[in-house]
Chain A
Amino acid sequence: MADVSEGLTPEVLMDMYYHMVLARVLDDRMWVMNRLGRAPVVYSSNGHEATQVASAFALDRGHDWVVPYYRDLALVLAMGMTPRDVFLHLMGRADDPNSGGRQMPAHWGSVDLKILTTGSVVTTQMMHAAGIALAAKLKHEPTVAMATFGEGSTSQGDFHEALNFAAVMKLPAIFLNENNGYAISVPARKQMAVPDVAARAQGYGIPGVVVDGNDPIKVFEAVRAAAVRARAGEGPTLIEAKTYRFVPHSSDDDDRAYRSREEVAEAKKHDPLVVFEQELREQHLLDDAQHKAVLDRAKAAVDDATEFADTAPDPDPSTLGRHVYHEAVL
């Protein structure tokens, strides 16, 4: 059994913490932009940072693929997307590396960072991760593909088809469920008659693991174990990270309609940023000065991104018809 916490050096732990803080600060700024009328819609990773950052860090970044969904701001930052990239995307600018301003915010994609392009139709991405893993297996490459998805999305048929296909073919895939208890307004108990998404793994003959999604170390270990298993040719793993979203589904949602303020306040006691900050302080990796330094660094990056995207050019309307089909390189 490989040591699954291998690589969690103090530097790496601090880097993870930085990315979690960066995601939160960036997320908060996006909401400000929305309320200022500068960004028509915002989707948040607020509350999911531990799951997303730690799972990315557990992969071989630059080599392994992630196949995300709209919730995954912190994940793509941890994969190497910059705050400037995120803001160019948010504001639909020409230089948005995700889509050149074509997609609504939080529809990630980067060939260089091995982040698969994202659509809006939930759960289709699980199949793409299986396909990337299929190619990796056939090419005898040690690549792992990790798909992420919400618990509401597990009601889709593609969830079943992807898990079954990957399990039968023993593909090097990881299916990471970010269970925040809600699909917009609909609670998990109305999506499924079992308490845990992970329990479904049994029906496919693969491991199903539940982890505390607010604890980055636990998430890191679970994803690393799944990656080791995948690379050894033993097939996929379904991981369920239990977490919570602290803000509405999107900037167009009002979550007061479907959950109490008490419930949200209770969940915030387990805010992954707070949990991890305490952990790092206990390990003497973080003190007040370092804490402030991390926050200042994140704020500076976000200020820079906001300013940068603000004056960036919009897509040229004459490009509307481009990239429908492959364009030969002249």
Chain B
Amino acid sequence: MAMTYLEAVRETLRQEMRRDARIIIYGEDVGVRGGVFRATEGLQDEFGEDRVMDSPLAESAIIGTAIGAAINGLRPVPEIQFADFIFPAVNQIVQEAARIRYRSNGTFGVPIVIRAPYGGGIHGALYHSQSIEAFFAHVPGLKVVMPATPYDVKGLLAASIEDEDPVLFLEHKGAYRSIRGDVPDERYLIPLGEAEVKREGTDVSIISWGMTVNSSLKAAENLAKQGVSVEVLDLRTIRPLDTEAILKTAKKTGKVLVVHEDNLTGGFGGEVSALIAEHALFHLDAPIRRLAGPDVPAMPYAPSLEHAFLVTPEKIEAAAKDLAAF
């Protein structure tokens, strides 16, 4: 069935909650209102106020209590209303959720899925546009999932909920209504840590994750018309990371463009680039290139400034074309 990225989130939550009575959802406005983006719309009606709860406006409490609830046998899927507001909960996510299995020598585990809408291009300005994945990708014990398509949303969200460890599930706000795709009715899982070649190509490899995969695919489409063959690798999860798939595409085309919306310095693109430099340098025909958000504190509001920040299909196209000609 064709559906939007947002519908894929909602229908997957519904299907999972029907399957597993341990799943609970809570966060700010997720109940009666169905979430500010409508990701949980109708779920409280179907599953009741015990399983879909409006919580106090307190991110540390939302995550901290989810940790306790998970340890006491539930499968919490808390929502952080905007990824930008996850920072009050960093202590609970990084120091507690991510370290509990390790510090208890494997005796305790924290199976929670933290859903958080991220990313810009929706006039959200500095505090409703951020890409936050690099902060969390640094943390062993966490998993960080960033789907680009409705199909991947479903398989990755179901797999995240089944996972025994804490997962940060980042949904791009721009994708919610603009990205549509076919999603099978039946349940399926996409293993965390498996990248996917979304488009085969021979001249240049674009490696990306989340929404910029879609922008990269558009750029690749345009470049094909100009005789440039672009391969697009969607990492889908950045922790665990599919190193093999990264090295494979790098060796195949010999030219790599890493694309992300998060700002450049210390962004996850640096990690991808380092891996290629370490393990595939002599297969390269050009220096690795990164295209990312600029190093300004966050995305500004005015459309002209917002557009200047964003990593658009046009910018990707230009960068990939340039690289192909190297």
- Residues of chain A having any CB pair with chain B under 8 Å: 65, 67, 96-103, 107, 109-111, 116-117, 119, 121, 124, 126-136, 138-139, 143, 145, 157-158, 161-162, 164-165, 168-169, 322-327
Contacts and interface: CB of A to CB of B under 8 A. Distances in A.
25 contacts: A65-B72, A102-B102, A119-B100, A124-B64, A124-B96, A127-B67, A130-B68, A132-B72, A133-B68, A134-B74, A135-B71, A135-B74, A139-B74, A145-B72, A157-B88, A158-B61, A158-B64, A158-B91, A161-B56, A161-B64, A162-B61, A323-B101, A324-B102, A324-B141, A325-B164
Contacts, number: 149
Given A128-B96, A130-B65, A117 B106 contact: no
A228 to B, nearest CB: 20
Given A138-B50, A326-B165, A162 B64 contact: yes
Q: Is the interface of B mostly helix, strand, loop or mixed?
A: mixed
Contact of A131 (B70, B88, B163): B70
A129 to B, nearest CB: 6
Contact of B104 (A117, A130, A143, A165): A117
B71 to A, nearest CB: 6
A109 B104 contact: yes
B69 interface: yes
A165 B61 contact: yes
Contact of B58 (A126, A161, A327): A161
Given A102-B102, A117-B104, A121-B96, 6 more contacts: A65-B72, A103-B103, A135-B72, A138-B24, A324-B102, A325-B165
B71 A131 contact: yes
B319 to A, nearest CB: 35
A17 to B, nearest CB: 31
Contacts of A135: 68-74
B1 to A, nearest CB: 32
A298 to B, nearest CB: 28
Contacts of B70: 131, 135
A138 B74 contact: yes
Nearest to B99: A119
Residue of B56, B70, B102 most packed against chain A (CB within 10 A): B102
Contact of B73 (A101, A139, A164, A168): A139
A116 B71 contact: yes
Contacts of B101: 323-326
Contacts of A98: 104
Interface string B142-172: 0100000000000000000001110000000
Residue of B55, B61, B163, B164 most packed against chain A (CB within 10 A): B61
Contacts of B141: 324-325
Interface string B171-191: 000000000000000000000
